[in-house]
Amino acid sequence: MIGFESVEDVAQKLESVDYIPSREIATVVYLAAATQKPILVEGPAGAGKTELARALARCLNLKKIRLQCYEGLDEAKALYEWEYAKQLLYTQMIKEKINDLIAESSSITEAVEKIAEQEDAFFSERFLLARPLLQAITSEEPVVLLIDEIDKSDPEFEAFLLELLSDFQVSIPEIGIWKAIHIPIVVLTSNNYRDISDALKRRCIHLYIDYPEKDLEKRIVQLKIPEIEIRLADQIVETINKIRDLDLKKRPCISETIDWAKALMVLQVNDLSPQVLSDTINVICKYQIDTTMVRESMDKVLK
């Protein structure tokens, strides 16, 4: 079994790679790793869903394989594809050899028979183009498989994932069933764009990651930018939390908090003022309307 000894161990290991988990995150990760179940992570954009998978890979020293979902994603792009061009090219090149092979056959049936014996040569791993899911299953080393934004994919694709996530095997008609050598740690993320099917949910352990509590966020800022003054970190986190309460098109997430803190460090700011916020607002808000709104409610945000 890959992974962790206890809930505390999870927290410790994740912290060692600069990811500070809440107790809930640590518990769920531990349970998922121990029972080899996929984790379905939900939460607002930028709360650290994808980062969790990255941190898991880093702290366990595993390779991370990522599959980004989108509308129209199909098996050929997610699992495997036959390389037709290569197969055709090979057939052309070994034409002579094939002719030799069937030269002595007395009937067509016999010739077909002889070619059929060689069929494996054409439908073998050599001509198989492995996509992320197959890579994760066939990898010699255990891996972390991140299936990002599963809610963006079509319901058909979700159904197709079921076999993979419950048995960790894939069936390729020409070759047979491939079982995973190591069961990967699977993390699925969802932005709640639409509801995920019950069947898929049943196979996963659910985790909701919200924006971190103020204290946790402060710790994260201090961890990422060790040279920051505690007072400034306080102010930054306070302000960001107030901005989050505004009715924005896109709320600032943790990475924006950190970007902003970094920007303030570069500008050598020691104290937040409306002027400073106004100058650096573009780091926090990514839409013109949001920028205007924060500017308008400046006195509410900076108290």
Contacts with other proteins by CB under 8 A lie at 7, 23-24, 27-28, 30-31, 34-35, 37, 40, 42, 72, 82, 84-85, 88, 155, 192-196, 198, 201-202, 204-208, 247-249, 287, 289-290, 293
Please give the radius of gyration of the chain, using alpha carbons only, rounded to the nearest integer.
26
Nearest-angstrom CA–CA distance, 69 and 64: 16
* CB-nearer residue toward other proteins: 139 or 190: 190
Picking from 264, 255, 209, 211, the residue whose alpha carbon sits closest to that of residue 233 is: 264
* CB-nearer residue toward other proteins: 28 or 52: 28
Nearest approach in angstroms of CB 208 to other proteins is 5
Cβ burial, residue 230 (10 Å; 0-12/13-18/19+): exposed
* CB-nearer residue toward other proteins: 46 or 224: 46
End-to-end CA distance of the chain: 51
Alpha-carbon distances of 280 from 199, 222, 223, 273, 285, rounded to whole Å: 46, 20, 22, 11, 9
Nearest approach in angstroms of CB 16 to other proteins is 21
* CB-nearer residue toward other proteins: 4 or 139: 4
Nearest-angstrom CA–CA distance, 40 and 78: 18
Nearest approach in angstroms of CB 35 to other proteins is 6
Nearest approach in angstroms of CB 37 to other proteins is 7
Nearest approach in angstroms of CB 66 to other proteins is 22
* CB-nearer residue toward other proteins: 3 or 142: 3
Which pair of tokens denotes residue 22?
A: 């809440």
